[in-house]
Structure 1
Amino acid sequence: MAFSQGRCLLKQRLAERRMTQSELARKTGYSRHLISHYANNRNYMSPSAMKTISYVLRCNMEDLYDWVWSDQ
């Protein structure tokens, strides 16, 4: 039994903060290309990336994804 990352909620968190992907990239030092990949579910964020992004967006790391509980 464990949680797994579901859909990325980065676009929603950015909208709540009225911040663009480009602004987030500038503030975190990650490329705009990588931020886009995260936001569009093409790449999962590493724990370090989740911590950095959540710090900039002033949210919890857990708020960046829909977390799915699996009984398997």
Structure 2
Amino acid sequence: MKIELGRCLLQERLNESDMALEDLSRQLRYKPERISDYIDNKRVMPLKTAISIANSIGCRVQDLYELESID
């Protein structure tokens, strides 16, 4: 089964973890604009970044995007 990434769910995960975008960007040493680009679906997170973000906010990498099955 092939999977495609849908909408980024990072803002929802940040809300659930009570972490602000600025806190995440400071913790990971990323510019806030970069995190915003992921949230706004302007950029797709590289796997390494997604792993770091998931570890920081306490979720699974799969929880950062809507996943769509393609048959």
User: Do they fold alike, i.e. is TM over 0.5?
Assistant: yes
Residues of 1 paired with 2:58 and 2:21: CA distance? 15
* Structure 1: tracts of 5 or more residues without a match: none
Amino acid in structure 1 at the alignment position of 2:54: S
Alpha-carbon deviation of 1:28? Answer: 1.0
Q: Which runs of 4+ in 1 moved over 3 A?
A: none
Number of aligned residues: 71
Root mean square deviation of aligned Cα:
0.7
With the length of structure 2 as denominator, give the TM-score of the two structures: 0.96
Alpha-carbon deviation of 1:5? Answer: 0.6
* Structure 2: tracts of 5 or more residues without a match: none
Amino acid in structure 2 at the alignment position of 1:13: R
